């Protein structure tokens, strides 16, 4: 009974547990179902809301579609209008392009017409310029020809003693020559200027023949002359006056050449007697040179000096003032000159000898016939001149062509060259000027004396030429064209009268005064 009762209890407990578990399961199911139901209700509610929103959206979409349709219709209308406007614009563009092409063609035609006009104008300007140039050339040639004719007339008037009229015509000659860029060294123009300016001065200062003169380099017109009477005179020129001091006067000497050492203020003079004199105001030294014959020429060579005689040459140490070497020639020297800074000796057998150094002498045949008594060459213009004993001069141009110049009547004593201007002195008492760059080389006499001109030189500025003759006369003559022109203008006391102008210059040339306020510069 007890077992049965425990079993029943157990069964009852088990049943109770099963029932409780079942209730739990049922409750859980109920709760899940309730939750699902609630979720479904919520979903239904949400769907209802969505349905309502969907209805609203459909209405909105319908409205938007209607709006879109309206916009599409408007856009279509605008597109049609735009296409119409595009078509109009395209038509206008084509029209504008056509107009532009027409404008470009018109511009091109205008440019071509302008270029043709410019070309024709340029041709016209060129032809006008050429015509003006031809007129200027013709006028220039006419005035230059007139200037030379006036120069000839001025010289004739001077020879006739009409100095006033000669000066006026000479001034007109150089004025037209300068103004029209002619050659102021043309024979008639230059000689009329020399004649009218009357710038020659003479001084009788030596007892013997003046053989040489040399300038100091101190800026003053201070120079030394030497003579055959053993005279060494120092001169200072102020204006037209000369002050002379005697450095030496000893008739035992016969001076032929003088050189001034400008740095040390020493005068070197050689005598045919074979003596070298070194002199200034404080010292006097005489050196006897043996074995080379009568002395002829001095040539400085740095700290040494070459002394040339008829039969040889000697070398002088200028610092110690002693002869260091001598050398005999195999020929007899007639005259010594210079060729491209080298001493050049001419002998009596038609040969020339260039001294390259004391130990080197190059000899060759003189390219002209006769006895050479003077020689000059120019490194700048490459011209050479040979002065002869008969008074002729042989000119060799840069191409080697030889031309004989005739203008002196006796022995040529000296030749100097400045650019293309050849200056020559002769025993006939004249210093002539030759223009080697002219087609016809003719002599122009710039100095005339009454004695044999033995030598000449230029002052330091090459404005004056100085010469000495066998009578002991020292002559100075102006050769500077600008200074002669100034001197000539100062000499003018009046202008040409209208009648004189018409007669000598011409009625077709406008009258102008040479002096006074209305005178042209």
- In 3D space, the residue among 343, 263, 267, 341 whose CA is nearest the CA of residue 303 turns out to be 263
Please report, for residues 205, 210, 248, 414, 466, the alpha-carbon distance to residue 232 in angstroms, rounded to integers and kept in the order given: 11, 10, 5, 21, 16
Integer Cα distance of 410 and 335 in angstroms: 16
Q: Which residue has the tokens 């009625």?
A: 507
- Beta-sheet strands, E only, within 78-221: 201-204, 210-215
The pLDDT, as a whole number, for residue 390 is 97
Q: Which residues of 5-44 are buried (b: 16+ CB within 10 A; e: fewer)?
A: eeeeeeeeeeeeeeeeeeeeeeeeeeeeeeeeeeeeeeee
Integer Cα distance of 178 and 190 in angstroms: 12
Q: Of all helices (H) and strands (E), which one includes residue 25?
A: helix 2-159
Task: Kindly tell me if the per-residue pLDDT of 2 is higher than 50.
Answer: no
SS3 state at 259 = strand
Please report, for residues 159, 218, 371, 477, the alpha-carbon distance to residue 188 in angstroms, rounded to integers and kept in the order given: 14, 36, 32, 18
- In 3D space, the residue among 208, 118, 192, 279 whose CA is nearest the CA of residue 469 turns out to be 208
Which string of DSSP letters, residue by residue, matches 266-287? EEEEEETTTEEEEE-SS-EEEE
Integer Cα distance of 391 and 232 in angstroms: 29
Minimum mean pLDDT range among 55-59, 371-375, 417-421: 55-59
SS3 state at 339 = strand
Number of helices (H), then strands (E), in the chain: 5, 28
Q: Is residue 343 a contact partner of residue 382, using CB atoms and an 8 Å limit?
A: no
The pLDDT, as a whole number, for residue 212 is 96
For residue 462, give the DSSP letter: S
The pLDDT, as a whole number, for residue 1 is 45
Minimum mean pLDDT range among 58-62, 241-245, 349-353, 412-416: 58-62
Minimum mean pLDDT range among 53-67, 228-242, 244-258, 490-504: 53-67
Taking the model in full, what pTM does it have? 0.72
Confidence of residue 5 (pLDDT cuts 50, 70, 90): low
The pLDDT, as a whole number, for residue 132 is 62
- In 3D space, the residue among 419, 437, 426, 433 whose CA is nearest the CA of residue 465 turns out to be 433
Q: Is residue 264 a contact partner of residue 252, using CB atoms and an 8 Å limit?
A: no
In this prediction, what percent of the chain has a pLDDT beyond 90?
A: 58
Higher-pLDDT residue of 438, 32: 438
Q: In the structure encoding, which two tokens stand for residue 433, read together?
A: 């000027």
Which string of DSSP letters, residue by residue, matches 192-255? HHHHHHT--EEEE--SS-EEEEEE-SSSSSEEEEEETTSEEEEEEEETTEEEEEEEEE-TT--E
Q: Is residue 435 a contact partner of residue 188, using CB atoms and an 8 Å limit?
A: no
Mean pLDDT of 448-456: 94
Minimum mean pLDDT range among 69-73, 226-230, 443-447, 500-504: 69-73
Integer Cα distance of 359 and 6 in angstroms: 173
Burial class (CB in 10 A: 0-12, 13-18, 19+), 515: middle
């Amino acid at each position: 009974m007890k077992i049965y009762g425990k079993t029943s209890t157990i069964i009852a407990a088990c049943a109770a547990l099963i029932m409780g578990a079942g209730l739990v399961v049922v409750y859980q199911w109920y709760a899940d179902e309730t939750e699902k139901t609630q979720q479904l209700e919520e979903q239904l509610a949400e769907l209802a809301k969505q349905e309502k929103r969907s209805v609203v959206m459909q209405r909105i979409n319908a409205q938007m579609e209607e709006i879109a349709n309206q916009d599409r219709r408007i856009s279509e209308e605008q597109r049609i209008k735009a296409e119409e406007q595009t078509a109009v614009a395209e038509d206008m563009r084509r029209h504008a392009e056509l107009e532009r092409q027409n404008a470009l063609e018109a511009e091109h035609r205008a440019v071509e017409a302008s270029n043709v006009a410019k070309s024709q104008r340029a041709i016209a300007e060129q032809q006008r310029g050429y015509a003006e140039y031809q007129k200027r050339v013709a006028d220039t040639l006419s005035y230059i020809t007139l200037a030379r004719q006036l120069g000839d007339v001025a010289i004739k008037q001077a020879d006739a003693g009409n100095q006033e009229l000669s000066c006026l015509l000479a001034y007109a000659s150089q004025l037209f020559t300068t103004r029209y860029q002619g050659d102021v060294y043309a024979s008639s123009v230059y000689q009329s200027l020399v004649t009218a300016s009357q710038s020659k001065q003479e001084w009788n200062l030596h007892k013997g023949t003046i053989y040489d003169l040399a300038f100091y380099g101190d800026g003053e017109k201070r120079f030394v002359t030497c003579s055959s009477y053993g005279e060494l005179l120092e001169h200072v020129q102020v204006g037209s006056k000369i002050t002379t001091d005697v450095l030496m006067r000893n008739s035992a000497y016969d001076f032929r050449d003088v050189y001034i050492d400008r740095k040390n203020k020493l005068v070197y003079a050689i005598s045919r007697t074979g003596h070298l004199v070194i002199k200034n105001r404080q010292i006097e030294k005489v050196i006897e040179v043996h074995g080379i014959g009568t002395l002829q020429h001095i040539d400085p060579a740095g700290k040494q000096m070459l002394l040339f005689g008829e039969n040889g040459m000697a070398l002088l140490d200028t610092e110690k003032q002693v002869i260091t070497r001598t050398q005999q020639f195999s020929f007899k020297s007639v005259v010594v000159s210079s060729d491209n800074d080298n001493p050049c000796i001419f002998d009596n057998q038609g040969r020339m000898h260039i001294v390259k150094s004391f130990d080197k002498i190059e000899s060759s045949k003189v390219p002209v016939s006769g006895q050479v008594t003077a020689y000059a060459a120019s490194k700048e213009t490459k011209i050479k001149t040979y002065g002869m004993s008969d008074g002729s001069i042989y000119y060799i141009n840069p191409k080697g062509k030889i031309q004989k110049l005739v203008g002196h009547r006796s022995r040529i004593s000296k030749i100097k060259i400045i650019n293309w201007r050849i200056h020559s002195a002769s025993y006939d008492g004249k210093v002539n000027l030759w223009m080697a760059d002219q087609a016809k080389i003719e002599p122009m006499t710039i100095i005339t004396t009454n004695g044999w001109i033995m030598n000449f030189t230029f002052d330091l500025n090459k404005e004056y030429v100085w010469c000495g003759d066998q009578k002991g006369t020292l002559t100075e003559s102006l050769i500077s064209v600008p200074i002669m022109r100034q001197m000539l203008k100062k000499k003018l006391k009046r202008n040409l009268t209208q009648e004189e102008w018409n007669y000598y210059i011409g009625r077709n040339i406008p009258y102008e005064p040479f002096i006074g306020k209305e005178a042209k510069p």
